[in-house]
Structure 1
């Protein structure tokens, strides 16, 4: 595959439509191409919107059904609605803070439903010495994930895999680690699994070697 064709696969890889062999070849290219790494990251919001569409689409819809002319309008409308909702929550929070600051401790404030607190999972593998921390935040489409890993076991390409309670596995992030342990590596990812549906996380090399498990 020529380099230009690999660049064109960034969107297909981010949306998960490449087959296993093509994805493997593209990941080899991704380790050496900052441009494609940036493109894959930029496709994150689009991937999330497609997850929302998939969750909202009834199962009886034909798999080859064509999107209607108002699909884009509905998606944009949903984005606007969510942003307005977040803006209102922020304004309510600021207003409550001002009231508390002015009135002092004697006032009782009524708060709405607070967003769920992020879940933090940390582990160190006694054999490999790899330390990792995963912070998961519940979202409408599943989970937003932040990974921090300190790896002194040698240079290799790695993947973060979320293992569901039903046994399903999803690769949610990939990166190349220098393996010198000098500084932690940070990676971001998303998964369709909600935090309560995830049994554990595993960091594996591309060869399948398990570096650390986070229960």
Structure 2
């Protein structure tokens, strides 16, 4: 089936309408298409509501009773409306990020007690669709690192690697990305390298594929 037709199967897959063979083929497509993975996630609330409705339906209801023929169209319309609203919010966020990018990708935050500055770096990889933000604090032992990441292409195992200016590498933290879940996940870890000794931060899969790179300035 052509890629365009695969994109159109998102709603049917999320609502469990596809047969077993079509669902299997669509899942193969889903592993390579961040756009469809994100759209499947958006159907989550609708799918949960249908599950709750099914559980609440009395046993006296005829087993062949079904929704009207326009139900799927209405559901798709609701999801499309939510996507349009989300797109508008994204455009505002992108406009704000451009302003930040012009000033540099790393933001320095002064600690409330007047101590060392905290550095925050944010990046999105256009190829993988993965968004990440690292917040780094200088400590006596090295750095304390907090990572927030959005990755809708799970399930997969990932880890955050710091790359030193001398070329050395250290794994800060690792995690498992849930199945097609685009919500942000937050992890914390530490590195023996101080912030000024770190050249970049890389989110990688367990196979070594780079999903997003964050470079402080």
Report the TM range for the smaller structure's normalisation.
0.3 to 0.5
Q: Which has the higher contact order (CA 8 A, sep 6+)?
A: 2
TM-score calculated relative to the size of structure 2: 0.46
Q: Give the structure with higher Rg (CA).
A: 2
TM-score for both structures, normalised by structure 1: 0.46
